[in-house]
Amino acid sequence: MKKSSSITRVRYSETDQMGVVYHGNYAQYFELGRTEWLRELGITYKSMEKKGIILPVISLNCTFIKSALYDDLLKITTTLVKKPMVKIEFSYEIRNENEDLICTGTSILAFISSKTGKPIKCPEDLLEKLSF
């Protein structure tokens, strides 16, 4: 399936007193990976919202393997798990600059109509760009 990689550097504000990334920040790293994955297809959250589509996260999982530290350069690899229907599912791997695996995770988001608040099918333009 379609993969994308994003790079970010751990900022001081993302760490605890020991210089270790606070666990809650990994959800933001996954979001960075997801938004860049979409951007590489020429799609943004902003453009979907203009079409009346929102993408709330309905499931998030993270397995911590090694600590990420202040000033580490992190590579977030985001992979589409399967063809999106009403939901879209991603898997993630985060590695430091030494290629050490820091964490893995998954997220599931639902395509929701901002007008009705009800689930809708994946937009056709996204499916076309994925060549399904």
What's 66's DSSP letter? S
Are 25 and 103 a contacting pair, CB within 8 Å? no
For tokens 């790293």, the residue is 29
Residue 16 designated active-site? yes
| CB half-sphere exposure, 13, CA atoms < 13 A | 1
Phi-psi region of 131 (alpha: psi -120 to 50; beta: other; left: phi over 0): left
Annotated catalytic residues are 16
